[in-house]
Amino acid sequence: MRQAILAFIDFFYPPFKKFISQHNFRYLATGGSAAALGIIVYTLAYKYVFLQSETEILGMTIKRNTAALIADFAIAIPYSFLMNRYVIFTHSEVKGRIQLLRFLNLNFINILLTTILLKFFSEILNIYPTVSRVIVTVLIAGFSYLYQHYFTFSVKKVGGKKDIKKH
């Protein structure tokens, strides 16, 4: 399955070869697919599942958009973790449960950072909200890559170089 996914992603890589490494392109492709999946799930849940302005989940009343966001996270976060663990960062020697905890920690940080940065760009700097969202998405994607590469799915250093197993 991994090879099929990589072959599909790599099919689109040649035009970008001069600008970005294959590993980073693969990360962007899988991250982009996770973002797209999240948007699709959010939209479908908002339009077709949570039809009332408020809904009750586990005894709590929440707004429709929050319920849709929970559905989005419930699908997109596991998908993103699996793609990163089994397709992109396969050279990591960190145990799976540790990777999962680190990944969930990253997603919690990203939710907080997104909220703070959106307020900063749109309310303090007065940048149009849609433009602010794009800026925040790019910043969060860069931060997430570095966090995952150097922490969540890190590799032990051997003799000053990373020990990367070829697959």
Mean pLDDT score across all residues of the chain = 84
Residue 155 pLDDT: 66
HEC profile for the chain? CHHHHHHHHHHCCHHHCCCCCHHHHHHHHHHHHHHHHHHHHHHHHHHHHCCCCEEEECCEEEEHHHHHHHHHHHHHHHHHHHHHHHHHCCCCCCCHHHHHHHHHHHHHHHHHHHHHHHHHHHHHCCCCHHHHHHHHHHHHHHHHHHHHHHHHCCCCEECCEECCCCC
Residue 167 pLDDT: 43
Highest-confidence segment of 40-54, 60-74, 129-143: 40-54
156 pLDDT tier (thresholds 50, 70, 90): low
User: Residue 122: is its pLDDT beyond 60?
Assistant: yes
Q: What is the pTM of this model?
A: 0.75
Residue 5 pLDDT: 95
Residue 16 pLDDT: 95
For residues 107-123, give the mean pLDDT: 86
Tally Cβ neighbours within 10 Å of residue 2.
Answer: 12
User: Which residue(s) pair with 56 in the sheet?
Assistant: 61
Q: What is the pLDDT of residues 59-79, one digit of tens each?
A: 889 888 778 878 888 998 899
Structure tokens, 109: 């940080």
User: Residue 161: is its pLDDT beyond 80?
Assistant: no
Contacts 24+ apart (CB under 8 A), 148-151: 148/84, 148/89, 148/103, 148/106, 149/89, 151/102
Structure tokens, 108: 């919690």
Residue 92 pLDDT: 79
